[in-house]
Amino acid sequence: MSASIRVLKQLFGALCRIQSDVWFERRPKWRIPNQTYDVLDYLLGGWIPIREKEIESLFYNSKSVSIKMPDNKVLYLPLMEEEPDFLPVLSFECRLDDDYDVMKLRLLLVHYDRSEGKPHGIGFRMEEGENIHGFYHTQLIKNLTGAATTENSPIECPLRFPETQPAIPLKAQDSITLVLCLLISLYGIEYCWSLANEHQLSELNSYLEYFGVPN
> Would you list the domain boundaries of the chain?
3-208
Per DSSP bridges, beta strands 48-49 and 73-76 are parallel
Residues 44, 89 contacting (CB under 8 angstroms): no
Q: For residue 35, count CB atoms less than 10 angstroms from its CB and return exposed for 0-12, middle for 13-18, buried for 19 or more.
A: middle
Q: What is the pLDDT of residue 133?
A: 60
| CA distances to 17, 27, 208 from 212, in Å | 25, 29, 7
Q: What is the pLDDT of residue 6?
A: 92
Q: What is the pLDDT of residue 212?
A: 81
Nearest alpha-carbon partner for 58 in 3, 12, 115: 12
Task: Specify the 3-state DSSP secondary structure of 178.
Answer: helix
DSSP code, position 80: B
Q: What is the pLDDT of residue 132?
A: 62
Nearest alpha-carbon partner for 7 in 176, 206, 213, 182: 176
Residue by residue, what is the 3-state secondary structure of 119-173? EEEEEEEEEECCHHHCCEEEEEECCCCCCCCCCCCCCECCCCCCCCCCCEECCCC
Q: What is the pLDDT of residue 93?
A: 93
Residue 76 dihedral angles phi and psi, to the nearest 5°: -85, 115
CA of residue 118 relative to chain centroid, distance: 23
Q: Which residues contact 48 (CB under 8 A, 6 or more apart)?
A: 72, 73, 74
Task: Specify the 3-state DSSP secondary structure of 177.
Answer: helix
Query: pLDDT 10s digit of each residue in the chain, 215 long?
Result: 488 899 999 999 999 999 999 998 877 777 888 888 888 988 888 889 999 999 999 998 878 899 988 888 999 999 998 898 899 999 999 998 888 888 999 999 998 877 777 788 888 999 986 666 678 999 988 777 643 334 445 676 766 766 666 788 999 999 999 999 999 999 999 999 999 999 999 999 999 999 987 76
The model carries a pTM of 0.89
Q: What is the pLDDT of residue 147?
A: 39
Q: H or E stretch including 101?
A: strand 101-113
Residues paired with 92 in a beta bridge = 105
